[in-house]
Amino acid sequence: MWSLVWPWMLLALPLPLLVRKLVPPVVGTQDAGLRVPSFRGFAVLSDRSEVEQLLNWRLMIAVAAWILLVVAAARPEKIGEELEMPVSGRNLMLAVDLSGSMDAKDFVLGSRRVDRLTATKAVAVDFISRREGDRIGLILFGERAYLQVPLTLDRQTVSALLLEAFIGLAGEKTAIGDAITLAVKRIHDQGSDGGEQVLILLTDGANTAGAVEPLKAAELAQQIGLKIYTIGIGAEEMEVSSITGGTRRVNPAADLDEATLTTIAQVTGGRYFRAKDTAGLQEIYRLLDEMVPVAEPESGFRPVTPLYYWPLGGSFVLALFLASMNLLAGWKLARAGRNYAGET
Protein backbone atom coordinates (compact mmCIF):
# COMPACT_ATOMS: atom_id res chain seq x y z
CA MET A 1 0.00 0.00 0.00
CA TRP A 2 1.25 3.48 -0.90
CA SER A 3 0.62 6.62 1.13
CA LEU A 4 1.81 10.18 1.68
CA VAL A 5 2.94 11.39 5.09
CA TRP A 6 2.13 15.04 4.28
CA PRO A 7 -0.49 14.93 1.48
CA TRP A 8 -1.35 18.61 2.04
CA MET A 9 1.98 19.46 0.38
CA LEU A 10 0.30 18.64 -2.97
CA LEU A 11 -1.55 21.95 -2.63
CA ALA A 12 1.70 23.58 -3.72
CA LEU A 13 1.44 22.10 -7.24
CA PRO A 14 -0.34 25.16 -8.79
CA LEU A 15 1.97 27.60 -6.99
CA PRO A 16 4.01 28.55 -10.14
CA LEU A 17 0.76 29.37 -12.03
CA LEU A 18 -0.48 31.53 -9.16
CA VAL A 19 2.82 33.38 -9.07
CA ARG A 20 2.64 33.95 -12.84
CA LYS A 21 -0.93 35.28 -12.60
CA LEU A 22 -0.66 37.38 -9.44
CA VAL A 23 2.86 38.78 -9.52
CA PRO A 24 3.23 41.60 -12.08
CA PRO A 25 5.92 41.10 -14.72
CA VAL A 26 9.19 42.94 -14.41
CA VAL A 27 9.19 46.05 -16.59
CA GLY A 28 12.54 46.33 -18.30
CA THR A 29 14.08 49.38 -19.94
CA GLN A 30 13.61 49.78 -23.65
CA ASP A 31 16.54 48.30 -25.49
CA ALA A 32 18.30 50.41 -28.11
CA GLY A 33 17.95 49.36 -31.73
CA LEU A 34 20.80 47.82 -33.67
CA ARG A 35 21.13 48.23 -37.40
CA VAL A 36 22.42 45.17 -39.22
CA PRO A 37 22.78 44.70 -42.97
CA SER A 38 21.20 41.24 -42.95
CA PHE A 39 19.90 38.37 -40.76
CA ARG A 40 22.54 35.87 -41.92
CA GLY A 41 24.35 35.98 -38.61
CA PHE A 42 21.16 35.24 -36.66
CA ALA A 43 20.12 32.19 -38.61
CA VAL A 44 20.04 30.25 -35.35
CA LEU A 45 17.03 32.36 -34.33
CA SER A 46 15.33 32.62 -37.70
CA ASP A 47 13.40 29.36 -37.41
CA ARG A 48 10.52 30.25 -35.08
CA SER A 49 9.17 26.70 -35.00
CA GLU A 50 12.52 25.40 -33.71
CA VAL A 51 12.65 28.10 -31.04
CA GLU A 52 9.07 27.43 -29.95
CA GLN A 53 9.75 23.69 -29.81
CA LEU A 54 12.81 24.29 -27.64
CA LEU A 55 10.81 26.51 -25.31
CA ASN A 56 8.03 23.91 -25.05
CA TRP A 57 10.50 21.17 -24.13
CA ARG A 58 12.10 23.36 -21.47
CA LEU A 59 8.69 24.19 -20.05
CA MET A 60 7.67 20.53 -19.92
CA ILE A 61 10.91 19.57 -18.18
CA ALA A 62 10.50 22.39 -15.66
CA VAL A 63 6.90 21.33 -14.91
CA ALA A 64 7.96 17.70 -14.44
CA ALA A 65 10.80 18.73 -12.10
CA TRP A 66 8.39 20.85 -10.02
CA ILE A 67 5.82 18.03 -9.77
CA LEU A 68 8.49 15.56 -8.62
CA LEU A 69 9.79 18.06 -6.06
CA VAL A 70 6.31 18.59 -4.58
CA VAL A 71 5.65 14.83 -4.49
CA ALA A 72 8.96 14.32 -2.65
CA ALA A 73 7.95 17.02 -0.14
CA ALA A 74 4.72 15.08 0.52
CA ARG A 75 6.91 12.16 1.76
CA PRO A 76 5.64 9.12 -0.19
CA GLU A 77 6.14 5.77 1.54
CA LYS A 78 5.33 2.12 1.01
CA ILE A 79 3.49 0.32 3.81
CA GLY A 80 4.14 -3.43 3.88
CA GLU A 81 1.97 -6.33 4.91
CA GLU A 82 0.83 -6.55 8.53
CA LEU A 83 3.31 -8.46 10.66
CA GLU A 84 3.03 -10.21 14.01
CA MET A 85 5.77 -8.81 16.23
CA PRO A 86 5.91 -10.06 19.83
CA VAL A 87 7.64 -7.49 22.02
CA SER A 88 7.25 -7.96 25.74
CA GLY A 89 9.32 -5.02 26.96
CA ARG A 90 10.86 -7.40 29.52
CA ASN A 91 14.54 -7.27 30.50
CA LEU A 92 15.72 -10.82 31.23
CA MET A 93 19.25 -11.33 32.56
CA LEU A 94 20.89 -14.75 32.91
CA ALA A 95 23.70 -15.12 35.45
CA VAL A 96 25.64 -18.40 35.13
CA ASP A 97 28.21 -19.69 37.62
CA LEU A 98 31.59 -20.64 36.07
CA SER A 99 33.41 -21.44 39.31
CA GLY A 100 35.58 -24.55 39.65
CA SER A 101 32.86 -26.60 41.33
CA MET A 102 30.78 -26.49 38.13
CA ASP A 103 33.23 -29.08 36.78
CA ALA A 104 31.60 -31.83 38.89
CA LYS A 105 30.24 -34.55 36.58
CA ASP A 106 27.02 -35.39 38.39
CA PHE A 107 24.59 -34.79 35.50
CA VAL A 108 23.60 -37.05 32.64
CA LEU A 109 22.94 -35.64 29.17
CA GLY A 110 21.62 -38.20 26.73
CA SER A 111 23.54 -41.34 27.68
CA ARG A 112 26.76 -39.79 28.93
CA ARG A 113 27.77 -38.19 32.19
CA VAL A 114 28.64 -34.51 31.86
CA ASP A 115 29.67 -31.65 34.11
CA ARG A 116 27.17 -29.17 35.50
CA LEU A 117 28.10 -26.38 33.11
CA THR A 118 27.58 -28.57 30.02
CA ALA A 119 24.12 -29.57 31.22
CA THR A 120 23.32 -25.94 32.04
CA LYS A 121 24.33 -24.81 28.56
CA ALA A 122 22.16 -27.43 26.84
CA VAL A 123 19.06 -26.51 28.82
CA ALA A 124 19.62 -22.75 28.95
CA VAL A 125 20.21 -22.44 25.18
CA ASP A 126 16.87 -24.14 24.55
CA PHE A 127 15.24 -21.75 27.04
CA ILE A 128 16.81 -18.70 25.34
CA SER A 129 15.55 -19.82 21.93
CA ARG A 130 11.96 -19.61 23.21
CA ARG A 131 12.26 -16.10 24.67
CA GLU A 132 11.09 -14.24 21.59
CA GLY A 133 10.29 -10.61 22.38
CA ASP A 134 12.48 -10.40 25.53
CA ARG A 135 15.66 -8.37 25.77
CA ILE A 136 18.15 -10.93 27.08
CA GLY A 137 21.53 -10.30 28.71
CA LEU A 138 24.20 -12.71 29.93
CA ILE A 139 26.40 -12.42 33.04
CA LEU A 140 29.17 -14.94 33.72
CA PHE A 141 30.56 -15.03 37.22
CA GLY A 142 33.07 -16.87 39.34
CA GLU A 143 35.48 -14.97 41.55
CA ARG A 144 34.46 -11.91 39.51
CA ALA A 145 31.33 -11.07 37.54
CA TYR A 146 31.44 -10.08 33.88
CA LEU A 147 28.79 -8.79 31.52
CA GLN A 148 29.22 -11.12 28.56
CA VAL A 149 26.21 -9.85 26.54
CA PRO A 150 24.28 -6.61 27.24
CA LEU A 151 20.50 -6.65 26.97
CA THR A 152 19.59 -7.45 23.37
CA LEU A 153 16.89 -9.01 21.20
CA ASP A 154 19.57 -11.07 19.42
CA ARG A 155 18.97 -14.47 21.04
CA GLN A 156 21.40 -16.25 18.70
CA THR A 157 24.32 -14.15 19.95
CA VAL A 158 23.41 -14.79 23.60
CA SER A 159 23.26 -18.53 22.96
CA ALA A 160 26.55 -18.55 21.04
CA LEU A 161 28.48 -16.70 23.74
CA LEU A 162 27.00 -18.89 26.47
CA LEU A 163 28.18 -21.99 24.61
CA GLU A 164 31.69 -20.50 24.36
CA ALA A 165 31.96 -20.03 28.17
CA PHE A 166 34.17 -22.42 30.10
CA ILE A 167 34.82 -23.29 33.74
CA GLY A 168 37.35 -21.03 35.43
CA LEU A 169 36.89 -18.18 32.94
CA ALA A 170 35.95 -15.82 35.77
CA GLY A 171 37.97 -17.47 38.54
CA GLU A 172 37.56 -20.50 40.79
CA LYS A 173 35.47 -18.96 43.59
CA THR A 174 31.84 -17.77 43.59
CA ALA A 175 30.78 -14.09 43.78
CA ILE A 176 26.99 -14.31 43.88
CA GLY A 177 26.56 -10.81 45.34
CA ASP A 178 28.69 -9.20 42.63
CA ALA A 179 26.70 -10.98 39.89
CA ILE A 180 23.42 -9.64 41.27
CA THR A 181 24.87 -6.14 41.68
CA LEU A 182 26.10 -6.14 38.08
CA ALA A 183 22.64 -7.18 36.87
CA VAL A 184 21.08 -4.38 38.93
CA LYS A 185 23.45 -1.83 37.44
CA ARG A 186 22.93 -2.91 33.85
CA ILE A 187 19.14 -3.03 34.11
CA HIS A 188 19.08 0.33 35.89
CA ASP A 189 21.28 1.89 33.18
CA GLN A 190 19.18 0.34 30.41
CA GLY A 191 15.93 1.74 31.75
CA SER A 192 12.82 -0.33 32.32
CA ASP A 193 10.25 1.55 30.16
CA GLY A 194 7.62 0.05 32.44
CA GLY A 195 8.51 -3.54 31.49
CA GLU A 196 9.21 -6.44 33.81
CA GLN A 197 12.77 -6.96 35.12
CA VAL A 198 13.92 -10.55 35.72
CA LEU A 199 17.22 -12.15 36.73
CA ILE A 200 17.70 -15.93 36.56
CA LEU A 201 20.74 -16.83 38.64
CA LEU A 202 22.22 -20.33 38.49
CA THR A 203 24.91 -21.50 40.89
CA ASP A 204 26.12 -24.66 42.62
CA GLY A 205 27.77 -23.18 45.68
CA ALA A 206 27.87 -20.44 48.29
CA ASN A 207 29.14 -16.88 48.11
CA THR A 208 32.91 -17.16 48.70
CA ALA A 209 34.19 -14.02 46.93
CA GLY A 210 33.20 -10.56 45.79
CA ALA A 211 32.75 -7.12 47.34
CA VAL A 212 28.96 -7.21 47.91
CA GLU A 213 27.07 -9.61 50.15
CA PRO A 214 24.28 -11.51 48.33
CA LEU A 215 21.49 -10.31 50.64
CA LYS A 216 22.61 -6.68 50.32
CA ALA A 217 22.62 -7.11 46.53
CA ALA A 218 19.12 -8.60 46.75
CA GLU A 219 17.92 -5.48 48.57
CA LEU A 220 19.31 -3.32 45.75
CA ALA A 221 17.51 -5.52 43.23
CA GLN A 222 14.26 -5.18 45.16
CA GLN A 223 14.56 -1.37 45.08
CA ILE A 224 14.57 -1.24 41.26
CA GLY A 225 11.89 -3.93 40.89
CA LEU A 226 14.26 -6.68 39.73
CA LYS A 227 12.73 -10.09 40.39
CA ILE A 228 15.31 -12.84 40.95
CA TYR A 229 14.72 -16.54 40.31
CA THR A 230 17.55 -18.57 41.80
CA ILE A 231 18.50 -22.10 40.73
CA GLY A 232 20.69 -24.32 42.90
CA ILE A 233 22.34 -27.00 40.79
CA GLY A 234 23.95 -30.27 41.87
CA ALA A 235 23.00 -33.86 42.60
CA GLU A 236 22.24 -34.84 46.21
CA GLU A 237 23.93 -38.21 45.94
CA MET A 238 26.66 -39.63 43.75
CA GLU A 239 28.82 -42.74 43.74
CA VAL A 240 32.57 -42.17 43.55
CA SER A 241 35.53 -44.51 43.67
CA SER A 242 37.23 -44.92 47.05
CA ILE A 243 40.93 -45.45 47.73
CA THR A 244 40.20 -49.04 48.74
CA GLY A 245 38.95 -49.92 45.28
CA GLY A 246 35.23 -49.86 46.04
CA THR A 247 32.68 -47.09 45.75
CA ARG A 248 31.15 -44.73 48.26
CA ARG A 249 28.23 -42.33 48.16
CA VAL A 250 28.87 -38.61 48.57
CA ASN A 251 26.80 -35.43 48.40
CA PRO A 252 28.37 -33.37 45.58
CA ALA A 253 26.13 -30.41 46.43
CA ALA A 254 27.18 -30.15 50.06
CA ASP A 255 28.52 -26.60 49.53
CA LEU A 256 25.27 -25.31 48.02
CA ASP A 257 23.88 -22.47 50.16
CA GLU A 258 20.16 -23.06 49.64
CA ALA A 259 19.15 -20.81 52.53
CA THR A 260 20.78 -17.73 50.98
CA LEU A 261 19.43 -18.50 47.51
CA THR A 262 15.92 -18.92 48.93
CA THR A 263 16.16 -15.61 50.81
CA ILE A 264 17.38 -13.77 47.69
CA ALA A 265 14.36 -15.02 45.76
CA GLN A 266 11.91 -14.18 48.53
CA VAL A 267 13.25 -10.62 49.03
CA THR A 268 12.83 -9.80 45.35
CA GLY A 269 9.50 -11.57 44.79
CA GLY A 270 11.02 -14.48 42.85
CA ARG A 271 11.37 -18.17 43.63
CA TYR A 272 14.12 -20.67 44.42
CA PHE A 273 14.44 -23.91 42.43
CA ARG A 274 16.56 -26.98 43.09
CA ALA A 275 18.00 -28.82 40.05
CA LYS A 276 19.31 -32.28 41.01
CA ASP A 277 19.61 -33.66 37.48
CA THR A 278 19.17 -32.68 33.83
CA ALA A 279 15.47 -33.56 33.81
CA GLY A 280 14.93 -31.41 36.89
CA LEU A 281 16.80 -28.51 35.28
CA GLN A 282 14.63 -28.80 32.16
CA GLU A 283 11.51 -28.80 34.30
CA ILE A 284 12.68 -25.65 36.10
CA TYR A 285 13.12 -23.77 32.84
CA ARG A 286 9.71 -25.01 31.71
CA LEU A 287 8.20 -23.61 34.90
CA LEU A 288 10.03 -20.34 34.31
CA ASP A 289 8.40 -20.15 30.87
CA GLU A 290 5.02 -20.41 32.60
CA MET A 291 5.84 -17.93 35.38
CA VAL A 292 7.50 -15.43 33.04
CA PRO A 293 5.50 -16.03 29.85
CA VAL A 294 6.68 -15.02 26.40
CA ALA A 295 4.78 -12.11 24.85
CA GLU A 296 1.88 -12.99 22.58
CA PRO A 297 2.23 -11.86 18.95
CA GLU A 298 0.84 -8.36 18.52
CA SER A 299 -0.78 -7.58 15.20
CA GLY A 300 -0.91 -4.11 13.70
CA PHE A 301 2.77 -3.60 12.94
CA ARG A 302 3.48 -2.75 9.32
CA PRO A 303 6.97 -2.10 7.98
CA VAL A 304 7.27 1.33 6.36
CA THR A 305 9.75 2.07 3.55
CA PRO A 306 10.32 5.77 2.74
CA LEU A 307 10.35 6.55 -1.00
CA TYR A 308 10.73 10.34 -1.08
CA TYR A 309 14.31 10.13 -2.35
CA TRP A 310 13.17 8.73 -5.72
CA PRO A 311 11.09 11.77 -6.83
CA LEU A 312 13.61 14.08 -5.16
CA GLY A 313 16.43 12.51 -7.15
CA GLY A 314 14.36 12.68 -10.35
CA SER A 315 13.65 16.38 -9.78
CA PHE A 316 17.35 17.04 -9.22
CA VAL A 317 18.30 15.22 -12.45
CA LEU A 318 15.69 17.14 -14.48
CA ALA A 319 16.88 20.45 -12.99
CA LEU A 320 20.46 19.64 -14.01
CA PHE A 321 19.27 18.72 -17.52
CA LEU A 322 17.31 22.00 -17.80
CA ALA A 323 20.34 23.99 -16.67
CA SER A 324 22.46 22.17 -19.25
CA MET A 325 19.95 23.05 -21.99
CA ASN A 326 20.08 26.72 -20.97
CA LEU A 327 23.87 26.71 -21.09
CA LEU A 328 23.82 25.00 -24.48
CA ALA A 329 21.35 27.57 -25.88
CA GLY A 330 23.47 30.42 -24.55
CA TRP A 331 26.59 28.89 -26.02
CA LYS A 332 24.92 28.54 -29.44
CA LEU A 333 23.75 32.16 -29.33
CA ALA A 334 27.19 33.39 -28.37
CA ARG A 335 28.76 31.34 -31.14
CA ALA A 336 26.31 32.73 -33.70
CA GLY A 337 27.21 36.24 -32.58
CA ARG A 338 30.92 35.58 -32.95
CA ASN A 339 30.39 34.10 -36.41
CA TYR A 340 28.43 37.15 -37.51
CA ALA A 341 31.06 39.53 -36.12
CA GLY A 342 33.75 37.61 -38.02
CA GLU A 343 31.85 37.82 -41.29
CA THR A 344 31.30 41.57 -41.00
Q: pLDDT digits over 60-69, tens only?
A: 888 899 999 9
Q: Which of 43-52, 159-168, 231-240 has the lowest mean pLDDT?
A: 43-52
For residue 148, give the nearest of 195, 206, 96, 226 by alpha carbon.
96
Residue 73 has pLDDT above 60, yes or no: yes
pLDDT value of residue 240: 56
CA 245, CA 331: separation in Å to the nearest integer? 107
- Cβ partners under 8 Å of residue 97, min gap 6: 141, 142, 174, 202, 203, 204, 205, 233
5-14 long-range contacts, CB within 8 A, separation 24+: 5/74, 5/75, 5/76, 5/77, 6/73, 6/74, 6/75, 7/74, 8/74, 9/70, 9/73, 9/74, 9/75, 10/70, 10/71, 10/74, 12/70, 12/73, 13/66, 13/67, 13/70
Q: 91-291 falls under which CATH superfamily?
A: von Willebrand factor, type A domain (3.40.50.410)
Domain boundaries defined on the chain: 2-16+39-80+303-343, 91-291
**Could you tell me what percent of the chain has a pLDDT over 90?**
40
CA 56, CA 18: separation in Å to the nearest integer? 20
pLDDT value of residue 46: 47
Confidence (pTM): 0.61
Distance of CA 327 to the CA centre of its chain: 49
The pLDDT of 255-276, averaged and rounded, is 92
